[in-house]
Amino acid sequence: MKLSPTVVTEQFDWIHGRHSTVVPLVNSVRGGLGDAFGVDVDPISAAGYHDAIDAVGTEGDLAVNVAALVAVLRDLDVEGDYPGFVVDELLGRELAAMIAGNQPLRVLAEATFHYADVHHHTGERAGADDLDAALAAGVQTRLPGWGWTEADSPFDVEPSSRQ
């Protein structure tokens, strides 16, 4: 695989084109997790999805890595699927984490990836449903809508005045 700025742009165009599949998946995941945790979680819109993908794409070093994982998952298939179960899970989990951002969002996206993956099946190649689940988990984690992300953390530490 060769990656160039043109290839990265093409992969991000493809990601944008998945909004009609990924946005409903994000909202389904948010609804299911909200029910499981007894909280209301705001749904996302297609515009929110595109904004999140644009934010990832404008970070060039991140964008090239996201594009590479997307390209691999788009093409990944394993005869009988089960032998490839680990690799598509590994790639999907990492893609979700990259899209979500820094800790603790990374680890939340990884956990959410598995929830989304269990609830989404395309019947296509081994990597196809993992790719959609990764996009959904990463975007849903990155975007606001969870009450706890809207408030200041009670664990913020005041800057030290030491010299």
Is residue 67 within 8 A of residue 8, CB to CB? The reply is: yes
Residue 107 in this model has a pLDDT that exceeds 90: yes
Cβ atoms < 10 Å from Cβ of 87: 16
Local structure of residue 103 (DSSP, 8 states) = T
Cβ atoms < 10 Å from Cβ of 38: 6
Confidence of residue 150 (pLDDT cuts 50, 70, 90): confident
As a whole number, mean pLDDT of residues 21-47 equals 94
Token pair belonging to 30: 């948010």
Q: Which residues, in sequence order, are CB contacts of 69 under 8 Å at separation 6+?
A: 91, 94, 95, 98, 134
How far, in Å, are 157, 158 from residue 161 at the CA level? 12, 9
Q: CA 89, CA 95: separation in Å to the nearest integer?
A: 10
Helices H / strands E in the chain, number of each: 8, 0
Q: What is the pLDDT of residue 1?
A: 86
As a whole number, mean pLDDT of residues 74-94 equals 80
Instruction: For the chain, give the mean pLDDT.
Output: 89
